[in-house]
A and B are shown apart, each in its own frame.
Chain A
Amino acid sequence: MLHETANGVYCPDGDFHLDPWHPVPRAVITHAHGDHARSGNAAYLCAAPCAPLLQRRFGPDTPIQALAYGDSLTLGDVRVSFHPAGHILGSAQVRVEGKAGVWVLAGDYKRAADATCTEFEPVTCDTFVTESTFGLPIYRWEQTATVIAEILDWWDVNRQKALTSVLFCYTIGKAQRLLTELGPRIDRPVFVHGMMIPMIDAYRAAGVVMAPTVPLIDKPRGTSFAGELVLAPPSARGTPWMRRLGELSDGLASGLMRVRGVRRQRAYDRGFVLSDHADWPALLQTITETGAGRVLTTHGHAEPLARFLKSQGLDSGVIRTAWEGEGGGDDSE
């Protein structure tokens, strides 16, 4: 029912592509990250809360059709519906039902609580396409509250030393999740890099409550940020923009930081293991809950996860997509 093509996953019975990486006539989009939603498609179909994020990215006139979670639409010979994936605001699993049974493409997902988006909902299916960004048993996430407490401790220590705390995180999802978690625990605004602002605004417009933010560019040259917390995208690291921040300690909030070597190689002072992807136990739990007899894995550690699932008696294989996950260099996750 679904095929791998040069443009990504294609459904001939419904004549649409899923998260295509080149422009196509009809694109069904799981979520607004750059490695899933690309510009130039003739028509977009996505979950309702995803639509405003796509508009921010591609312009207000983008031809977007949005469906509420759970509602379905018939396209050709198949029925398509969106179900919460818990990854970022508006992220969805795509359920496709046709002659060949029920497929669910989960896109990116996580099972940990996240107040910025609707919680993941397991969907029963025959074939489940799962991400595998962190598909190895070394990846297990701590409670979010524990990680947030680590971030607050780090900020406190830096403030005592009059250092600026610069926390790098992706602009869509991670930044807003951090701001939401920090909100009730802090009594001062968080400074943000200019690239963060459009998506923070989009989340606020969607009703997500966050810590107050101040764009760094609003402050005159020479302003001291000693003792403050600044959120910035990883791509801003090492650019002249950093000169404004004075003496600083930096950290990255990402599941990649689970491995010391990765953090040390990138020379971050601190790594905060906070991910918007499923860890190993969550992947296995989810696969079981879908009841799927066939599981396809994509992105990151796709091969080991598929091999492991086979060893557990499931029909499993790897599917190639252009998804980058947190391993990607840009601001996609």
Chain B
Amino acid sequence: MIRFATLFAAIDQTTSTNAKVEAMASYFAAAPPADAAWAVFFLTGRRLKRLVPGAAIREWTMTATGIEEWLLGECYAVVGDGAETAALILDQLPSTASESLSLADWVEGRILPLRHADAQSQQAHVLAWVRELTRWERLVLLKLLTGELRLGVSQTLVVRALAQTAALPATTMAARLMGEWTPGAAWFRSLLSDGVTADDLSRPYPFFLAAPIEHGKDVAQLLGDLAMWQLEWKWDGIRAQLVKRAGRVHLWSRGEELITDRFPEISDAAQSLPDGTVLDGEVLAFRAERPLAFSALQQRIGRQKQVARKARDIPVVFMAYDILEHRGRDVRANSLSVRRTLLEHYIASAPSDAGPSPGHEQLLPFDAPRDVGHRTLRVSPVLSGASVDDLARLRAESRTHGVEGLMIKRFDAAYGVGRKRGDWWKWKIDPFTIDAVLIYAQPGSGKRASLLTDYTFGLWDNGELVPVAKAYSGLTNEEIAEMDRWIRRHTAERFGPVRHVEPVQVFELGFEAIAKSARHRSGVAVRFPRMLRWRRDKPASEADTLDSLRSMIR
């Protein structure tokens, strides 16, 4: 238990993902397999069900310390976490040193049997156990009991740490962690074993990546004979491989993360593919025959709980553009022309999910409540362009099609590994984006009047943040609520409704145009700024400078 609590603390006490992976890897290497198995169980977000309600923990805390309910409530308001509030208050009970039980002993020998005890003996047991433990262990125990234990690591990081421990590819490890398993020493040993397991069948291939055509490049010279190249849109979704083997479907994101569960309609549709098929493509939020903004798709990724409801609100498609495995055979060495023929054959034979035939789709009203006849598996269409001017024109239309630019792929090229220059190019629309620091916030209007939603952003200029843009939109409701709380706690100064906040939060802003402006202190005006991403990964000191914004004026 002490080892696991130390791991919990180590993960909690760093913002570096590498340090988190390192902490997990050294835990997996040192812990007995039975403990490590439970650790994987908790690290991957699984929980022990229906053990002790939070109300019981509160009750016992009050009994043990004599603190009244209202005061406990005041404490909770500051801490925001029931188990942690209890652990902090119970800190006044001295810790009596005792021999440390292993995590597996705790879970299997003590915590799980608690389910069958009556409330009175539950209380007696838990309060006695608390006294045996140190502060971090107490927190872990209380969180285990209430099913609130969240270690704040993504599945990807756990996979990375396990892969590192076992010296296996991350994809193998991710596949092995899929589906149902029961934590135990034998299971953990098989997780790390170097043989081939059934789970290994779900593995994707390494993704082939396109190289960017940089600004100012002579495209005609770069591409030569345009007849050698296949043109497609560059979709703005989640790059993914759809794997169908041995009757099971797996969807892998480029981050080697399994996202099958997030998009049940894709795995349903993929059931129609023959075994031994691997497609490369893009998951897109898609309605009325055009992609929705990437932020819509993000809502499908975030909350695993609400998959069904979100699936209704935000339909998705898998836009396939390549085939890597055909009837169980790796076809990556074949030319794109060959692979494209195979791909079109497959998807054309995939049936429409429901409703009238695709011919009727155009007749549906634009805002049809449900996409009837929504084809979930699609082939990314091939575009035609006879000259570089045609390509430039297509690229310029990108925004109206909801795409990011053009993909340009050599017909005679094999499907490579990694980012090999020369066979696949991406020619993106000129991005007007900057990473700016939040400096002022004020309440929004209408429905958002109670929340601080109107932000002013600044860029660095000689060690000072100069305001450059105001933006109101682009965040999810959860993010808005989180920012609201943050701003209230980090207001440095107030001028009426406007709050000057600590320069901490960085956002990627996108905008449509930029021009010189004498009216603005920054000397530039940006048109239609919006928040593209919350850059939690970026410290304010690394945000962009005013000079870098000025250099975008052409």
Contacts and interface: CB of A to CB of B under 8 A. Distances in A.
B119 interface: no
B539 A242 contact: yes
B491 interface: yes
B85 interface: yes
Report whether over half of chain B's contact residues are helix, strand or loop; otherwise say mixed.
mixed
Interface in B169-198: none
Given A238-B539, A240-B463, A304 B74 contact: yes
Contacts of B541: 238-243
Given A267-B15, A269-B16, A261 B79 contact: yes
A136 B75 contact: yes
B492 A329 contact: yes
B489 interface: yes
B491 A238 contact: no
Interface in A204-231: none
Contacts of A311: 68
A242 B70 CA distance: 43
A167 B13 CA distance: 14
Nearest to B545: A240
Contact of A259 (B65, B84, B91): B84
A14 to B, nearest CB: 33
Contacts of B59: none
The size bracket of the interface on A is 20 to 34
B539 A137 contact: no
Contacts of A261: 79-81, 84
A304 B71 CA distance: 7
Nearest to B79: A259
A136 B74 CA distance: 8
B489 A265 contact: yes
A54 to B, nearest CB: 24
A239 B75 contact: no
Nearest to B74: A304
A307 B89 CA distance: 18
A278 to B, nearest CB: 15
A79 interface: no
A329 B491 contact: yes
Contacts of A249: 14, 16
Interface in A254-280: 258-261, 264-271
B12 interface: yes
B65 A138 contact: no
A302 to B, nearest CB: 11
Contacts of B15: 267-269
Contacts of B486: 265
A264 B489 CA distance: 13
Interface in A271-330: 271, 281, 301, 304, 307-308, 311, 329-330
B79 A238 contact: no
Nearest to A250: B15
Contact of B13 (A242, A266, A270): A270
A57 interface: no
B79 A329 contact: no
Residue in B14, B68, B541 whose Cβ sees the most chain A Cβ within 10 Å: B541
Nearest to B86: A138
A38 interface: no
Interface string A131-146: 0000011101000000
A269 B13 contact: yes
Residue in B68, B78, B79 whose Cβ sees the most chain A Cβ within 10 Å: B78
B546 to A, nearest CB: 13
Residue in B13, B65, B70, B80 whose Cβ sees the most chain A Cβ within 10 Å: B13
B78 A136 contact: yes
Nearest to B541: A242
Contacts of A239: 463, 503, 540-541
Interface in B64-101: 65, 67-68, 70-71, 74-75, 78-81, 84-85, 88-89, 91-92
Contacts of B463: 239-240
Contact of A301 (B12, B67, B74, B536): B74
B110 interface: no
B13 A137 contact: no
Interface in B441-469: 460, 463
Given A238-B541, A269-B13, A269-B16, A138 B70 contact: no
B502 interface: yes
A137 B79 CA distance: 12
A265 B504 CA distance: 11
A140 B65 CA distance: 14
Given A238-B437, A239-B503, A268-B15, 18 more contacts: A136-B71, A138-B78, A238-B503, A238-B504, A239-B463, A239-B541, A258-B88, A260-B79, A261-B80, A265-B486, A266-B490, A270-B13, A270-B14, A281-B92, A301-B74, A301-B78, A329-B491, A329-B492
Interface of A: 136-138, 140, 237-243, 249, 258-261, 264-271, 281, 301, 304, 307-308, 311, 329-330
28 contacts: A136-B71, A136-B74, A136-B78, A137-B65, A137-B67, A137-B71, A138-B85, A140-B88, A237-B504, A238-B504, A238-B540, A239-B503, A241-B541, A242-B539, A249-B16, A258-B88, A259-B78, A261-B79, A265-B485, A265-B486, A268-B15, A269-B15, A270-B13, A271-B13, A281-B92, A304-B71, A307-B70, A329-B491
Task: Give 5 closest A-B pairs by Cβ, nearest first.
Answer: A238-B540, A138-B88, A304-B74, A138-B75, A329-B492
Interface of B: 12-16, 65, 67-68, 70-71, 74-75, 78-81, 84-85, 88-89, 91-92, 437, 460, 463, 485-486, 489-492, 502-504, 536, 539-541
